[in-house]
Amino acid sequence: MSAASGHSVVILADLLIDGTGGDPIGDAGVIIEGNRIRAAGPRRRLGTLPGAADVVDLRGTNRVVMPGLVDAHSHLWHFFRGDVQVRQFDSPAYIVARAVRNAARRLDEGVTTTREMGTPENLDLGLRDAVADGVVSGPRIFASGMGLAVTGGMYGKQAPFRRQTMEFTGADEARRAVRRQIDAGVDFIKLFATAGIGERGHSQMTFEEVAAATDEGHKAGKTVAAHAIAADGIKICVRAGVDTIEHGKALDDEAVAMMRDAGVALVPTLAVGRTIAERAVELGRGAEVAENARRVLEVHQRSVRLAYEAGVKIVVGTDPAYGDSMARECELLVQTCLTPMEALVGATRRGAEILRHGDDFGTLEEGKRADLIVLARSPVEDIRALSEVEYVFKAGIAVRRPQAAR
């Protein structure tokens, strides 16, 4: 089932969530022509349906159609669903093979676009192009390549992790590193602005370094994402002009006010911390790690609530070291402070917006790319329904559908 060659597909469902944040629409549908949406909304406003269209009529089944998911913080190269650890010493060929498998899995879960946040040796650039060319199956990829870190920063002496970073010292070297990544073909720049993954991640980049890297990226039309844990580092990043804060585990009132006023979005990635808290012993990391993860998660959730109450835009991303899904991340965000609809907007429209592609995908509106999913029931009523994906359309092509519909 495909509309990519110019053929039409019509999907009729009991409920449509368009991703804009508006109320769900009953007795609704979407008309796809080629890889674009011709119309979306109430059935009565769709007009005459194309005569030769393939019609997927799901009315009377409680099915829900909504935009494809946008994972705003992913690492396709380093997660194994159900496996106990990430294998950092694997060869580039093995890393690519694992990423190819994970890309197909993410697409099957309804993720039609992903923002890759730092990959060893810029391997995500090739995967991005392979997906775009149809060589392998996966979400549309926006790739940062290797993240930028100060000399000896972020991963320190952990040699296998350092394959993921390009190191520099000083503002001039920061500019040079950004230029190298732009020349390599990255879609945006990732900075490891602070240390660590706990709530005490202290600043490592100076203001001058962050500002130089950000300025260089912006001059080339690239957005800049900053891994930033604690409030002091986050404030440096916001003053320097970055576009998004990744994680933001230990925010304070001043930091969230600065983010709101500057229009800097937060991508919290809560689920990975919850997984460590719940499964550390099973994963071979010990009871002490589990207890620390529970404490850090509480701090992290308080930070998300602080940002939310201040009016900071919250965007959904998974950081899936252990295969955490968008459904799980949304569930945890709803448990923390967001409404289900706010979580859905964060998982669709907001993700497209921080990629600067809000006019191309992320909502079900006329003229936009036909990325959409069909769920078995409404995630507005129960956000966990986001895991019950039955159909996935990416750019007008049905890449997943129930066995009975094949």
Average pLDDT per 10 consecutive residues for the chain, totaling 406 residues: 72 98 98 97 92 94 98 86 54 90 95 95 96 98 96 67 84 98 98 77 92 98 96 97 97 98 97 87 81 91 98 94 88 98 98 98 98 98 98 97 74
Q: What share of the chain is helix, strand, coil (3-state, %, to 5)?
A: 35, 25, 40
Pairwise CA distance, residues 177 & 169, whole Å: 10
Q: Are residues 128 and 38 in the same domain?
A: no
Q: Are residues 263 and 369 in the same domain?
A: no
- The answer to whether residue 1 sits within a structural domain is no
Which pLDDT belongs to residue 42?
97
Q: Are residues 221 and 288 in the same domain?
A: yes
Which pLDDT belongs to residue 157?
55
Residues 290 and 277 sit within 8 Å (Cβ to Cβ)? yes
Looking at residue 350, the DSSP 8-state letter turns out to be H
Which pLDDT belongs to residue 201?
66
Is the whole model's pTM more than 0.85, yes or no?
yes
How many helices (H) and strands (E) the chain has is answered by 12, 17
Pairwise CA distance, residues 324 & 278, whole Å: 12
Q: Are residues 195 and 232 in the same domain?
A: yes
- The answer to whether residue 271 sits within a structural domain is yes
Q: Are residues 196 and 292 in the same domain?
A: yes
Q: Are residues 47 and 102 in the same domain?
A: no
Q: Are residues 209 and 333 in the same domain?
A: yes
Q: Are residues 104 and 234 in the same domain?
A: yes
- The answer to whether residue 281 sits within a structural domain is yes
Pairwise CA distance, residues 247 & 238, whole Å: 14
Q: Are residues 83 and 114 in the same domain?
A: yes
Angle ∠(224,228,233) on CA atoms, nearest 5: 105
- The answer to whether residue 3 sits within a structural domain is no
Q: Are residues 204 and 321 in the same domain?
A: yes
Number of structural domains in the chain: 2
In this structure, which amino acid lies at residue 27? D
Write the DSSP string, 132-164.
HTTSS---EEEE--SEEEETT-TTTT-HHHHTT
Range of the domain at 79: 69-354
Which pLDDT belongs to residue 79?
66
Which pLDDT belongs to residue 276?
86
Token duo for residue 369: 């790319």
